[in-house]
Chain A
Amino acid sequence: MSDDHGSVFDGLIDGDLGGDSSQWAFGTGFEDPLAGVDTTVPAGTDPAELAAYCLMLGDDALIMSQRLAEWCSRAPDLEEDIALANIALDLLGQARLLLARAAAADPGAVPVLPEGSPVPAEDALAFFREAGAFRNVRLAEVPNGDFAHAVVRLLLFSVARLALLERLRGSADAVLAAVAGKGVKEVAYHRDWAGRWFLTLAQGTEESRRRLVTALDALWPLLDELVTAHPVEVSVARAGAGVDPASLRGEVDAVLDQVLAVSGVDRPDRPPLAGVAGRTGRHGTHTEAFGLLLAEMQVVARAHPNGRW
């Protein structure tokens, strides 16, 4: 037996877990999610489109991670501070794998750095692209508000992302399938965390409920972009490597309705936030706050394009 609740005698013998046994107190048995995965682009998928698709999913995770990381030392309690940082790091890990996949599928998408720069391709994508080259949804980038805002944003984001990753496990691209397999377990926890806090704040005090409803009203117009397909998503989904986000709409609605019903909160009656001439985050058109976010996220890496981290 080797499942998580297996025999208590599992793992008593050195070597079962591999790694450095002198470090056992700090956890052992770490896994590489991409070990042994076939990295060839599947036949029938356009490499440039696959790269653009990976940027969309990767940028969503990267920018969400950045906003969550801004909570460090600012959460209401130490326990929640660590929870938010854990979630941010999960998403950063997903972003790293997805941006690396984008770079491998289409090296032309990676910004060119000075000769001899040791910066890996996924870092070049994260830290050396301009705002217009980022494909993340606007929900991920809007500035932080109070704790209720963080809870609502993460709930909307993780409900849609979990539905997506569950389907993406069947991707024709073995790398995307492996990234999704790892991500499902992480985002399932994020959704659980956000759902519990949503209920707690809704049923808590008058003040917590007022803040929750205010955040929900403010963020609801940004939900639609997560379940609206960009042409690249449609094309990659048709090739069997991606998931058409429009196909997630029913599940996302059903899950959110369930959370709203349990919490006794009405579904907001707010229209989706329009794009600019039809262009949204997926097209590289972002909100005003995005430039400031990127400036803070990228400034150190850009000051040292030959830096080794």
Chain B
Amino acid sequence: MSADRREWPLYEVFVRGKRGLNHVHVGSLHAPDDAMALRHARDVYTRRNEGVSIWVVRADAITASSPDEKDPLFAPNGDKVYRHPTFYEIPENVPHM
């Protein structure tokens, strides 16, 4: 296969919706470069008026935890319920909690 037939790299897309405080992963797409990835994300993932901000990042730039590490990484926190701030009542006049 010649160099001209290379696949475009994969990008992961994060969109902040009108109601969202943070960018949420919405999917992935292919694009030739960063700027075009942003345009593609706009075209593919915000066409129903969902978004006010987009992040794109090359998928190969993401370092992910491995499923093999699941137990050492996450299991130790499974029995530490006292780390949740659930042992007091929220006053009624505090909104959006």
Contacts and interface: CB of A to CB of B under 8 A. Distances in A.
Interface of A: 4-5, 8-13, 17, 24-30, 77-79, 82-83, 86, 192-193, 196, 200, 205, 207
21 contacts: A4-B52, A5-B53, A8-B22, A10-B18, A12-B19, A12-B96, A17-B18, A17-B19, A24-B19, A26-B48, A27-B48, A27-B49, A77-B8, A78-B29, A79-B44, A82-B43, A82-B44, A83-B40, A83-B43, A193-B39, A207-B4
Interface in B1-46: 4, 8, 16-22, 29-32, 35-36, 39-40, 43-44
A8 B48 CA distance: 20
Nearest to A11: B18
B84 interface: no
Contacts of A28: 18-19, 49
A32 B83 CA distance: 49
Contacts of B44: 78-79, 82
Nearest to B44: A82
Given A12-B19, A17-B18, A205-B4, A86 B49 contact: no
Contacts of B36: 196, 200
B47 interface: yes
Contacts of B20: 8
Interface in B73-93: none
B54 to A, nearest CB: 12
Interface residues of B, number: 26
Contacts of A12: 19, 21, 96
B40 A79 contact: yes
Contacts of B32: 200
B25 to A, nearest CB: 14
A26 B50 contact: yes
Interface of B: 4, 8, 16-22, 29-32, 35-36, 39-40, 43-44, 47-50, 52-53, 96
8 interchain residue pairs of minimum CB distance: A27-B49, A27-B48, A79-B40, A11-B18, A83-B43, A27-B50, A82-B43, A26-B48
A68 B38 CA distance: 22
Contacts of B47: 82, 86
Contact of B43 (A4, A17, A86): A86
A79 B7 CA distance: 13
A5 B48 contact: no
B21 A8 contact: yes
A92 to B, nearest CB: 14
A196 B34 CA distance: 13
A140 B47 CA distance: 24
Nearest to A197: B36
Contacts of B29: 78-79
Contacts of B52: 4-5
Nearest to B40: A79
A86 B46 CA distance: 11
Contacts of B39: 83, 192-193, 196
A78 B27 CA distance: 14
Contacts of B50: 25-27
Contacts of A4: 52
Contacts of A9: 21
B43 to A, nearest CB: 4
Contacts of B49: 27-30
Nearest to B53: A5
B53 A79 contact: no
A28 B18 CA distance: 8
Contact of A8 (B16, B30, B31): B16
Contacts of A10: 18
